[in-house]
Amino acid sequence: MSTTPTLEFRDLEVAYTVRGIDREVVRKVSFSIAPGEAYGLVGESGCGKSTAAFAAMRYLPRNGKITGGSILFEGQDIVGMSAGEINKLRQSAISMVYQNPATALNPTIRIGEQVAEVFELQGFSKSEALAKVEEALVKVQIADPTKVMRRYAHQLSGGMAQRVVIAMALASNPRLLVMDEPTTGLDATVEAEVLDLVRKLRKESGTAVLFISHNLGVIRHMCDRVGVLYAGALVEQGATEDLFSNPSHPYTVGLLRCIPRGGLHKNTDRLDTIPGTPPALGTHFSGCVFADRCALVEDKCRTTQPEMVSVGQSHVARCFHTNTAGSMPRAIDTVTVSVSQNPNRATTGTRLLDVDHLSKAFTQDGNAVHVVNDVSLQVGVGETLGLVGESGAGKTTIAKLILGLYGSDSGSHVVLDGKDLAGTLNKRDVKDVGAMQIVFQNPDQALNRRHSVTRIVGRAVQKLRGLSADASTDRAHELLSGMRVEATLHSARPVQLSGGLKQRVAISRAFAGAPQLVVCDEPTSALDVSVQATILNLLVDLQKQDGTSFIFISHDLGVVRYISDKIAVLYLGRVVEFGESNRVFQGPHHPYTEALLSSVPNIDGSIRKRIPLTGVIPSPSNPPTGCVLHPRCPRMAGSGVEHLCSSVEPALTEVEPGHFMRCHIPLDQLRTVQI
Amino acid sequence: MKRFILKRLGLSVITVLLVCIIVFFLTHILPGDVARQYLGRGATEDDLREFRHVFELDRPLLSQLFTWINHLLHGNLGQSMQYRGPVTDLLLPAIGYSSKLAGVAFFIIVPVSIAGGVISAMNRGKKIDRAITVGGLSASVIPEFVWAILLVLVFGVIFQIFPVTAFPRRGSHDLLTQIWYLILPSISLLLVLFGYIARITRAGVIEALDSDYMRTAVLKGLSRRKAVVKHVLRNALLPTIAVVASQIPYLIGGLIAVEIVFNYPGFGTILKGAVDARDYSVLQAGVIISSFVIVLFQLIADILFAVLNPRIRQKVSE
Amino acid sequence: MTESTTSTIANKSDLERKQIRRERISLVLKDKTFLVGAFILSFWIILAIFGSIIAPHGAGDQDFNFVSHSPTSKFFFGTDANGRDVFSRVILGTRLIVVMAFSATILGTVLGTSLGLATGYFKGKFDMIVMRLVEAISAIPVLIIALLAIAALEGRSPTLTVIVIGFVFTPNIGRTVRAAVLGESELEYVAAARLRTERTRHILFREILPNVLPPIIVEFTVRLGYAIFAIATLSFLGAGVEYGSPNWGSQIAENWGNIYSNVWWPTAFPALAIASLAVSINLISDSLLEIFEL
């Protein structure tokens, strides 16, 4: 019986040299992974988790270096190893799976050859290696390995590419597998498939895993033990269940609290936040790294670095207040926004927006590609409509069609407050343009980096409200301050602001013209969860105050559930389900919604039976016949209406009052099978 | 693939046609009377009229354009104003000589420049990298004729290592001697073209070195050397094909000055004579022929790139 | 509490950003490549302005006692076959080439930028047609099309050469700007501008143009170097400027035949002048390229 851990970090320190100055990114991190164990490192962006992962491979960027401590692989320090020795280890004992599988594969070499390389390094001849590739691909559940072997990276879907990378990583039968955000960027259903696969392979091979993720839900489902990183320091570590049920560091507590979990809703619950923003790379701390943002902070915390304190069996936290952390006061930003919108238009009813038979086909290489198909939606005054769906669902296109950024095809109608709007923006009058605005996903691209914050918002006020330049500037300052962008920042350029502040500026701009409806296109997906909560709170406040309606696009079902009154589920440019938020989440669901919901790894640890969605999302340029879901539908087999599913596209029908579905299977039948 | 080639071919034909039209209008529409320019201020009205008649300059513009293009299609590049004979008789042998010079230069330039770029990239940030990039580009902004004269001065006149002309005197005509005479002119062309090709090659290699797939290769346990050879060079050198093709216009432009300095009876020397004599027919033909060559090489480069790049190859064969 | 924390952090990054910008400027001023380039270029610009005061002899002054004479204390760079002072002629040749190069490059940059903005933003058929034309013009070697145009136009004046070179540069600069604009117009701040009913002109010049300035500046310096290249070569070929005027290319054209009899000075000095001017501009563009991280 061996007690040597497979991997051990001992007081590891890593620094990046930026403009001649060493900036610490990993601060005295110690942990160990036993053979066969899955250890998760979790944290927000910039916390050093990826650096730690690559350090375990002894691979750092050109400006990175290990400045202290050691990394032991099966008891051997790899920090001082020669290039040849470390190569030997990479060939046979440790492998890695990366965040972007598509770019991790060489674009000009066939897949088979790339995987074969690993076997060749182990001394197999080329032909033996190729034969082994087939086996390896079968192992990662690739159905047609010989075909995949002949392909190039760009011909694989994201999920398929990640399977290939996993096959490559496992080809050497490694004793340690490092996985760096292996499913980030993949669609929810694909992510679930990949995670299932990893879990299964791990069970078979008994490989130890270092699993890196920002997603607490994923970590919870994949790992035996978890370490929480903040600003490069390990602040808490423990067995997964223990840590999630009894978090003992204020940061872990805050992180778990600010995630919109199932059951929370904007009408009844306000989200907790973690005040402030994560520190800049390489900030120097004389005390606790989290002191600046901690609700329990004392003078001691700022001057003395706390030691790891045991809070349970092999559960430790680096804090002076481990006893009270779990019950620390809630951090709710009580200051509500003060943006007097003074809306100069009264709505005529409770219905604000009617989208009827919205369609859009783009021409690609001379062929029409129907990206949006016959979409009908309604948004009430002061209501939030959530749009969910995976890539290719047409969420953003629908938003841009409604706003008039793209012209919709004939037969489409966008009716705002009883007025049928022109298809394109330049044919709409200023008032209607100002009435519908958008907050984009990426504020770096949405804010002109050459303009000041005041100018960005002021110009929008000037154009949409028709105010003079001076009055617009005043109004812009008022708006920005109302959104809690401080006056000292009004002359700043976007690049000088943090991600959360940038998004506040973008929201201020969207509200410049006293809009009735604001489209929020993944407004928080580029932000860390602690910042996400403050933005969601802000949006909810704005809605409560002015009765603004939202169309909220997100791939994060937790967020959508929290903020939406109604949900539309999209698949391949079609609305497959539409109704009250509770209805859609509680079911009976459309088979696609069911599969989507079941694929989300829940943070509360509850295990739902996963309804797998086989195959890949078809291309909108070549959609399946009949119901577009039928080749992947989890409920078609045995439904008795298979012939209909494969030949006739179902219409969006009201299956019960206020609940619409595009499915041939009767509601009652769905209800029965979904219990 | 066939469709892709046909499409590229079609575009190339359009480009050449457009070049013809641009050239035609340059000489016929711009304020300036060809006949007056050619014959000089002393010419009488009768002289002018006769000249215009001979060179069909008195017909309506469009009909001139159509006959001209029609002639071009039949390989008739017009009559030289200076020699009153077919332009082709004058240009064809000259083009033969120029091709020889350009060919030798090309075979020196391409490998040397690419090697320079690769060396530079592999030593990123070091002195040799700065020397190659800054030195290479600095050399490339100095005109060929300056390089040519300096080279002749240093290696031909002062040290007398290389011949001062590009053309062996009567007698010794074996291939090696001919190439020996073409080395110095080729080096002047190399100095001008090296910098850009090396710089782009360097960028391509660095991009590949920094790529995720290179990281994958290293973390598989390949040695750095093997990873570079197998994973970097192939991806990095693909774009260089396009870059090399894009330098052909500069190569042809450079020929003129170099041929004059090295007293080489090529295409450039003929053009220079045509400029001095204001022989428009020859100039026009010169532009068209050089454009044709350039478009041809671009076409070849495009097809080569598509054939070697799986992403494009797949796309076009679908 | 929340507010003060956010603001301190934001202020910190504010400071840091300002520092980076200051660092960037000081980076330019510290960069040896840039300094050497700027030093040489300012030397030539000063000569271009004050050349006529500095030059010891007139451009056409002939001294038949000193024909093809090697450098002496009276004639620092020697004399040419016509007994003219090479030193003075090199100094007096500066103004013409500097003024011509800058004018041609400015013309090309203004035209090219407009072309690039329009084609990059409007895309569609307009873009397609213009790009076909641009492709056709790019398929003609710059020098040869300039030779043809200059020969076709009446007279051989510097103005004409400037206009021809400016036009010939337009497609190249246009292509660079177009590529940058294509990228920018996909960014969502452009959509945001449309969503506040901005006119196209405002979007092009106020929103997009400031963001594509770095590549335009670099392209300007690159083209400036190439303008020197082209003007020198054209005048060497006898097509750029009036015959006999003191400009470097013509000086070389008149005198290089004598290098075989070891009279190298009337050729070598203007050649070095061309080389140093072109290289100085290249050094500047090279360091800008590095610092803008293009």
What are the sequence ranges of the domains in chain C? 30-293
Q: How far is Cα C117 from Cα C276, in angstroms, rounded to an integer? A: 34
Q: What pLDDT is recorded for position B33?
A: 66
Residue among C172, C222, C177 at smallest CA distance from C204: C177
Do the domain assignments include residue A16? yes
Where in the sequence is the domain holding A637, given as residue range(s)?
A: 586-672
SS3 track for A297-354: CCHHHHHCCCCEEEEECCEEEECCCHHHHCCCCCCCCCCCCCCCCCCCCCCCCCEEEE
Contact C131, C289 (CB under 8 A): no
H-only helix segments in A450-568 = 453-465, 469-482, 499-510, 529-546, 557-563
* Contact C271/B at CB under 8 A: yes
Token reading at B221: 């346990």
- pLDDT average, residue stretch A555-577: 93
Residue B20 has pLDDT above 60, yes or no: yes
- Residue C294 pLDDT > 70: no
Q: Mean pLDDT across the stretch A161-189?
A: 92
**CB atoms A106 and B222 under 8 Å:** no
The reply to whether A605 and A550 lie within a common domain is no
Rounded distance between C-alpha atoms, residue B158 and residue C260, angstroms:
9
* Residue among B51, B25, B21 at smallest CA distance from B288: B21
Q: Are residues A382 and A526 in the same domain?
A: yes
| Pair A174, A279 in one domain | no
Q: Does C88 touch chain B (CB under 8 A)?
A: no
What mean pLDDT do residues A479-495 have? Answer: 89
pTM of the model: 0.86
- Rounded Cα distance between C76 and A102, Å, is 66
- CATH at A127: 3.40.50.300
Report the distance separating Cα A6 and Cα A176, nearest Å: 7
Task: Single out the residue of A97, A54, A94 nearest to residue A76, CA to CA.
Answer: A94
Instruction: Tell me which chain C residues have a C-beta less than 8 angstroms from the C-beta of B283.
Output: 147-148, 151
Query: Across the interface, do C286 and B26 touch by the CB < 8 Å criterion?
Result: no
* Dihedral angle over CA of C239, C242, C244, C249, nearest 10: -40
Closest CA to B279 of B21, B140, B85: B85
Query: Percent helix, strand and coil across chain B, each rounded to 5?
Result: 80, 0, 20
Name which of B220, B234, B238 is nearest A121 (Cβ-Cβ).
B220
Lowest mean pLDDT across A1-15, A125-139, C33-47, C48-62: C48-62
Instruction: Considering only residues B29 and C121, tell me which one the structure prediction assigns the higher pLDDT.
Output: C121
| Contact between B167 and B263 (Cβ < 8 Å) | yes
Cβ–Cβ under 8 Å, residues A550 and A519: yes
Q: How many domains does chain A have?
A: 4
Q: Which residues pair with A18 in a beta bridge?
A: A21
Q: Which helix (H) or strand (E) holds A190?
A: helix A188-205
User: Lowest mean pLDDT: which of B133-142, C84-93, C115-124?
Assistant: C84-93
Which pLDDT does position C2 carry in this prediction?
35
Cis-peptide, bond into residue B249, ω within 30° of zero: no
Please report whether residue A214 resides in a domain: yes
CA distance C7 to B300: 59
CA distance C118 to C204: 8
Tell whether A403 lies on the interface with C, counting CB pairs under 8 A: yes
Answer with the one of A512, A539, A569 that is the final residue of a domain: A569
Evaluate whether residue A581 is within a structural domain.
no
With contact defined as 3+ CB pairs under 8 Å, the chains touching B are A, C
A104 reaches C (C-beta below 8 A):
no
From chain C, pick out residues whose CB is under 8 angstroms from the CB of A497: 10, 13
How is residue B225 written in tokens? 């050397």
Cβ A26 vs Cβ A52: under 8 Å: yes
Summarize the confidence of residues C212-224 as an average pLDDT.
Answer: 91
Query: Rounded mean pLDDT of C265-270?
Result: 85
Residue A198 tokens, joined = 């990893």
Residues of B in contact with A87 (CB under 8 A): 221-223
Q: Which of A405, A440, A501 sits opposite C10 (nearest CB)?
A: A501
Q: State whether C140 and B144 contact (CB < 8 Å).
A: no
Label residue C4 by pLDDT band (50, 70, 90): very low
pLDDT, tens digit, 9 for 90 and up, residues A311-321: 988 899 999 99
Q: How close does chain A come to C214, measured CA to CA in Å?
A: 12
Indicate yes or no: CB of B19 within 8 angstroms of CB of C268. Answer: no
**Chain B residue with Cα closest to A104:** B213
> Chain B within 8 Å of A89 (Cβ-Cβ)?
yes
CA distance A74 to A51: 20
What confidence tier does A665 reach under pLDDT thresholds 50, 70, 90?
A: very high
Cβ-Cβ contacts under 8 Å between A and C: the total is: 106
Separation of alpha carbons C18 and A496, rounded Å = 9
The chains found to touch A (3+ Cβ pairs under 8 angstroms) are B, C
Which residues of chain C neighbour A496 with C-beta distances below 8 Å? 10, 13-14, 17
**Other Cβ atoms closer than 10 A to A405:** 19
Q: How many of the other CB atoms lie within 10 Å of CB of C22?
A: 10
Q: State the fold for domain B86-312.
A: MetI-like fold (1.10.3720)
Q: Are residues B212 and A95, on separate chains, in Cβ contact within 8 Å? A: no
Q: Are A260 and A559 in contact (CB under 8 A)?
A: yes
Residue B277 makes CB contacts below 8 A (sequence gap 6+) with: B38, B81, B82
Contact (CB<8Å) B256/C237 = yes
Mean confidence (pLDDT) of chain A = 90
Taking only the tens place, the pLDDT of each residue in C155-176 is 667 888 898 899 989 998 999 9
Model pLDDT, residue B318: 38
Q: Looking at the predicted structure, is the pLDDT value of residue A51 above 80?
A: yes
**Under a CB-based contact definition with an 8 Å cutoff, are residues B186 and B264 in contact?**
no
Asked if A466 and A590 sit in the same domain, the reply is no
Q: Which of residues 248-287 of B touch C (CB under 8 A)?
A: 249-250, 252-253, 256-257, 260-261, 271-272, 275-276, 278, 280, 283-284, 286-287
CA distance A45 to A28: 19
Residue of chain B with shortest Cα separation from A82:
B223
- Predicted pLDDT of residue A284: 87
Range 331-370 of A in CB contact (< 8 A) with C: 333, 335
Alpha-carbon gap, residue A226 to A213, rounded angstroms: 11
DSSP A87-139: HHHHHHTEEEE-S-HHHHS-TTS-HHHHHHHHHHHTT--HHHHHHHHHHHHHH
CATH 1.10.10.10 is the classification of domain C30-293: no
A432 and A499 share one domain: yes
Q: How far is A207 from chain B (nearest CA, A)?
A: 17
Give φ, ψ of A178 to 5 degrees: -100, 120
Interface probe with A: pick from C6, C20, C208, most Cβ of A within 10 Å: C6
- What residue of B is the nearest CA neighbor of C149? B26
pLDDT at A334: 59
Which has more pLDDT, B31 or A263? Answer: A263
Closest CA to A154 of B289, B235, C164, C105: B235
Residues of C with Cβ-Cβ distance to A447 under 8 angstroms: 189, 192
A19 contacts on C by Cβ (under 8 Å): 23
Note whether A98 contacts B: Cβ–Cβ < 8 A: yes
Q: In this complex, is the C-beta atom of B200 within 8 Å of any C-beta atom belonging to chain C? A: no
Closest Cα of chain C to A501: distance in Å? 9
In a domain, A336, yes or no: no
Please work out, in degrees rounded to the nearest 5, the angle formed at the alpha carbon of residue B226 by the alpha carbons of B221 and B229.
140
Quick one: A376 and A450 in the same domain? yes
How many CB atoms are located within 10 Å of the residue C251 CB? 26
Q: What is the pLDDT of residue C9?
A: 36
Residues 20-49 of C with CB under 8 A from A: 23
- Is the domain of A500 the same as that of A352? yes
At B189 the pLDDT is: 93
Least confident of A297-306, A518-527, A564-573, C21-30: C21-30
- Cβ atoms within 10 Å of C3's Cβ, excluding its own: 13
Asked if A234 and A228 count as a contact pair (C-beta separation under 8 A), the reply is: yes
Residue of B30, B143, B280 lying closest to C229 (CB–CB): B143
Pick the residue from chain B with its C-alpha nearest to A58: B219
pLDDT at C24: 62
**Chain A residue at shortest CA distance from C185:** A445
Test B141 with C133 for CB contact under 8 angstroms.
no
Q: Which of C132, C135, C148 sits opposite B26 (nearest CB)?
A: C148
How is the beta sheet containing A549-553 ordered, strand by strand? Answer: A436-439, A517-521, A549-553, A384-388, A566-571, A574-580, A659-661, A653-656
Q: How far apart are the CA of B129 and the nearest CA of chain C, in angstroms?
A: 13
Buried b / exposed e along A334-363 (16+ C-beta atoms within 10 A): eebbebebeeeeebeeeebbbbeebbbbee
Same domain, A609 and A531: no
Average pLDDT of the segment spanning A64-83:
93
Residue in B217, B219, B314 nearest the CB of A155: B314
The residues, ordered by sequence, that sit 6+ positions from A142 with a Cβ below 8 Å of its Cβ are: A148, A160, A163, A164, A167
Task: Report whether pLDDT(A269) > 80.
Answer: yes
Distance CA A165, CA C65 (A): 83
Residue pair A637/A673 in contact (Cβ under 8 Å)? The answer is no
Across residues B182-206, what is the average pLDDT?
91
Tell me: do A592 and A565 sit in the same domain. no
Q: Searching chain B, which residue's CA lies closest to the CA of residue A150?
A: B310
The string of pLDDT tens digits covering residues B69-110 is 888 887 777 777 777 788 888 888 899 889 999 999 999 999
What is the pLDDT, as a whole number, of residue C240?
65
Quick check: C196 contacting A, CB < 8 Å? yes
3-state secondary structure of A7: strand
Tokens of A233: 């320091």
The DSSP code sequence of B249-268 is: HHHHHHHHHHHHHTT--SHH
Same domain? A528 vs A483: yes
Is residue A563 located within the same domain as residue A646? no
In chain A, % of residues over pLDDT 90: 63
Residue A181, both tokens: 């955000």
Q: Are residues A304 and A360 in the same domain?
A: no
Q: Between A280, A442, A513, which is nearest C13 by CB? A: A280
Q: Do B145 and C233 touch (CB under 8 A)?
A: yes
Name the average pLDDT for chain B: 84
pLDDT reading at C191 higher than 80: yes
Please compute the mean of the pLDDT values over residues C102-127 and round it to a whole number: 92
